[in-house]
Structure 1
Amino acid sequence: MPPGRRLVRLLALVPLLCAPATGCGAPAADTTGPAVREAVAEWAAAPPARPAGVPFEGWSYEVTSVRRDGARAFARATLRYRLAGYDSAAADAPREVELVRGGADGWRVAADRPAPGAPPQLWDQGAVTVVRGAHALVLGVGRDRGTLAGIAAEADRAVPAVGAAWPRPWAGRVVVLAPATLDAMAALLGRPADAYRGLGAVTTGRVGVGPAPADRVVINPEGYASLSEAGRDVVLTHETTHVATRAATTATTPLWLSEGFADWAAYRAGGRTPAEAAPELARAVRRGDLPGALPADGDFAFGGDPEALARSYEGAWLACRLIAAKWGDAALVRLYEEAGRAPLPTALDETLGVDRAELTRAWREALREELG
């Protein structure tokens, strides 16, 4: 390139490299991120939208990213909180905090909502009504206080029943969420409503995350309302058992043991016979369809054949019932603990002195005797 033309090209680049008003100095630092984090922290100390009456403590937001759009900013954050007297570990939720520029006052929080794609919290769905029981905290939206008080009374019966079945340290109390509709329940759990249709309640919480995860029992208002009083007691005792055993439950715990133990805790004080409590499996055994193996984890998936699902739960319960009857309640509890730490063959050998094949043979024989 000729020297003259090269000089023209270099001169043409000067306006692009040096802004006329600021010259060629370093660009001004963007202070949006630190200012937004400070504004969120100050607001989180007493957010005006916090539900009245809910015993929050340790409420804080950890901002992970900030995006500015003119006079607005959007902070992605993790909300952490505990319910005083109920949670030893913090619950957490992905949130998006929207802020507006307030002139000399800096950034101000304008809205707090679930992060895109994240499930809502109960208070995102409306005004929360709080009912306390002796062992339970019930939080409801769109439910009358009398209904919530009934749930609290049922939960108060469930907690001591669980303590009798699981004599290991646990919180000894439960938090129950009562949303207004099945769709609202499904939204809280981040799954389609069809996944919970017909169920009375489910339990949230991750397995193996510490001594006292912040578990919640979530009521399905449609399924729960269709149950008898005895049925509601069974459902809440079952779900509360999952709360109590959560810290001992890991990815190695087979679902037949986890679900069967929860049903064993729920049924152990009742007077129902195996045929009454396991009608689907009883019908199968009587027509000669005796299961050949303990239920696999995949057999507990929702959305398939409801009768097959019922047989899986019933078979799991009868397996745990057999273990308690043959080896003792304490042995069943030890098996549950060991199965969360070691493969099932090891856990069976160390606690019951049998292998899976021996347990399966004893279980199948019990099914013939009690359901045939």
Structure 2
Amino acid sequence: MSLARRAVLRALPLPLLWAPLAACGAPAGTGDAAEGEIRGAVARWSAAPPAGLAGIPLEDWAYEVTSVRREGVRAFARAELRYRLAGYDTAPSGSAREVELVRDGAAWRVTSDRPAPGALPQPWDQGPVAVARGAHSLVLGAGGQERNLAGIAAGADRAVAAVTAAWPQRWAGRVVVLVPGTLDAMAALLGRPASDYRGLGAVTTGRVGAGPAPADRVVVNPEGYAELSEEGRRIVLTHETTHVATRAATSPRTPLWLSEGFADWAAYRGTGRTAAEAAPELARAVRRGELPGALPADEAFGFGGDPEALARAYGGAWLACRLIADRWGEAALVRLYQRAGREPLASALPGTLALDPAALTRAWQTYLTQELKP
């Protein structure tokens, strides 16, 4: 599988909030009075972001304590952290936290703050965070990635411009990129095994079907991204930024061949790459006489499968969207994407392209044969 193709995967949902666990352990000393003192200590401590995060444009920073557990001179407060990245988030993001305190004379003092059990870490939980700003991008990096952030911000700005040209609908026109220090750190941020991301350049987080999601982030795999050519990096960032731009129009109804194919179409649009150059795995299969019998199913885009099959699915999805743009026009492709998020594809297709799914499949198969056979 080509590095550029391996670097693009479906947008991944990133859980933002976990239900607080019930308080357990010893009662909070003298009852409500002790608990009130602990809550007050957390409120005073969390009144503003820590000094170490001064370079990050944080707004609406607040901890809401949901439960308190006291163990002698130590106490543990479960809390929900809420914050916004100013200029990028339309609503607060959230994170479940555990704040530890100690009794210091007559008062309680916060000694540590960490993700609550089962919750995902924030970037600053992995060490000092460096910040790079582009005209339309904010890049947060950790683990020694400082030297790479300015280049990624410039690439993200170019991606925003390319996506805006391909997706004329209203969107924020800006993107947040997270650059963890290692593949393992990336996996920790996303809550999945590192093996899921090995060889990938980046993924996108977000909540499909929930409208504009304040937590849409492009998360770079620093190891996979470093292996890409300059063009590969551009394609990866544009693909992932397309997912950010189209999030509000994407729902569980949207077929993955359409959402992933559209993101690839936006990324390859205007590059001059031929079908065989951009989809070599699918080209080899078609030349062997293995013409796909159907558009790629959602399952074809999953993790852990055959990488050649995954590359063929992405190639087929891209060429389906390229076919629609070439034959019916780019505006028709955008309208189909929007309608497919609101209604079944079986009704969205006749309303935009005047054909049914079977007719689209036949046209796609003919297009594959024309574009991929020597």
Q: TM-score if structure 2 supplies the norm length?
A: 0.89
**Native 8 Å contact 1:299 1:312 kept in 2:** yes
1:299 corresponds in structure 2 to: 300
* Unpaired stretches in structure 2, ≥5 consecutive residues: 1-28
CA distance 1:82–1:47, change in 2 (3 Å): closer
Comparing 69-78 with 206-215, greater Cα deviation is found at 206-215
| 1:213 aligns to 2:214 (yes or no) | yes
What does residue range 262-281 of structure 1 map to in structure 2 within 5 Å?
262-281=263-282
Compute the displacement of 1:144 (Å). Answer: 4.5
Please report how far the alpha carbon of residue 156 of structure 1 lies from its aligned counterpart in structure 2 after TM superposition: 1.1
State the partner residue of 2:360: 359
SS at match of 1:217: strand
Contact 1:88–1:214, Cα closer than 8 Å, also in 2: no
Distance 1:33 1:50, change over 3 A: farther
SS for the counterpart of 2:119 is coil
CA contact (8 A) 1:142 1:179 kept: yes
Structure 1 residue matching 2:32: 3-state secondary structure: coil
- Local SS of the residue matching 1:31: helix
Q: 1:190 to 1:135 in 2, by over 3 A?
A: same
Residues 297 and 33 from structure 1, CA distance in 2 versus in 1: closer, same or farther, beyond 3 angstroms? Answer: farther
For each residue in 1:215-249, what CA deviation from the matched residue of structure 2 results, as whole angstroms up to 9, or x when unmatched?
Answer: 11111011100000000000000000001111111
Q: Which residue is 1:171 aligned to?
A: 172
User: Which residue is equivalent to 1:51?
Assistant: 53
Distance 1:186 1:29, change over 3 A: closer
User: 2:344 aligns to what?
Assistant: 343
Q: Which moved more, 1:337-346 or 1:48-57?
A: 48-57
Aligned partner of 2:89: which letter? D
Of 70, 73, 98 in structure 2, the residue corresponding to residue 71 of structure 1 is: 73
Between 70-79 and 320-329, the greater mean CA deviation after superposition: 70-79
Q: Percent identity?
A: 74
Contact 1:213/1:246 (<8 A) preserved = no
8 Å CA contact 2:207–2:213 kept in 1: the answer is no
Q: Which residue of structure 1 aligns with residue 4 of structure 2?
A: none
Distance in 1 separating the partners of 2:334 and 2:251: 15
CA contact 1:170–1:212 (8 Å) conserved in 2? no
Amino acid in the other structure paired with 1:346: S
* Residue 82 of structure 1: aligned partner: 84
Count of aligned positions: 345
Do the aligned partners of 2:49 and 2:58 also contact (CA within 8 Å) in 1? Answer: no
Query: Corresponding residue for 2:38?
Result: 36
**For 1:203-242, what aligned pairs fall within 5 Å after superposition?**
203-242=204-243
Question: Distance between the aligned counterparts of 1:36 and 1:208, measured in 2?
Answer: 39
Give the letter for the 1:190 counterpart.
G
Structure 1 residues 174 and 363: CA distance shift in structure 2, 3 A:
same
Partner in structure 1 of residue 141 of structure 2: 140
- Secondary structure at the aligned position of 2:106 is classed as helix
Residue 340 of structure 1: CA displacement? 1.2
Of the three residues 94, 97, 101, the one matched with 1:95 is 97
How far 1:101 moved relative to its partner? 2.2
Deviation at 1:42, TM superposition (A): 2.2
- Alignment root-mean-square deviation, CA: 1.6
Conserved 8 A contact 2:301-2:310: yes
Structure 1: 5+ residue runs without aligned partners?
A: 1-26
Structure 1 residue 28: Cα displacement: 6.3
Task: Report what 1:308 is aligned to.
Answer: 309
Report the Cα offset of residue 116 of structure 1: 0.9
Q: Which residue of 1 aligns with 2:115?
A: 114
Q: Residues of 2 paired with 1:31 and 1:326: CA distance?
A: 72
Distance 1:124 1:358, change over 3 A: same
Q: Would the aligned equivalents of 1:260 and 1:320 in 2 still touch at CA under 8 Å?
A: yes
| Distance in 1 (alpha carbons) for counterparts of 2:168 and 2:277 | 27
Instruction: For residues 312-339 of structure 1, give each alpha carbon's deviation from its aligned partner in whole angstroms, at most 9, with x where no partner exists.
Output: 0110001111111111111111111111
**1:89-135 deviations in Å (ceiling 9; x for gaps):** 22211211112223333x32221101112221111111111111111
Q: CA deviation at 1:309?
A: 0.3
Distance 1:347-1:35 versus aligned 2 partners, 3 A rule? farther
**Superimposed CA distance per residue, residues 35-90 of structure 1 (whole angstroms, 9 cap, x where no aligned partner):** 33332222221243652301111111222222221122212222111111111122
In the TM superposition, what are the counterparts of 1:319-334 in structure 2 within 5 Å?
319-334=320-335
Q: Rg: which structure is higher?
A: 1
Q: Secondary structure at the match of 1:331?
A: helix
User: Match of 2:183?
Assistant: 182
| In 2, Cα distance between equivalents of 1:228 and 1:206 | 30
Q: Distance in 1 between matches of 2:184 and 2:89?
A: 26
Distance 1:32 1:350, change over 3 A: farther
Alignment of 1:119-134 (within 5 A): 119-134=120-135
Query: In structure 2, how many angstroms separate the alpha carbons of the residues matched to 1:92 and 1:117?
Result: 14
Considering Cα pairs closer than 8 Å and 6+ residues apart, tell me whether 1 or 2 has the greater RCO.
Answer: 2
1:371 corresponds in structure 2 to 372
Distance 2:324 2:81 in 1: 42
| Match in the other structure for 2:256 | 255
Letter in 1 for 2:284: R
Q: Distance in 1 between matches of 2:30 and 2:139?
A: 52
Residue equivalent to 2:25: none
Cα drift, residue 208 of structure 1: 2.0
Tell me if structure 2 keeps the 8 A contact 1:171–1:212: no
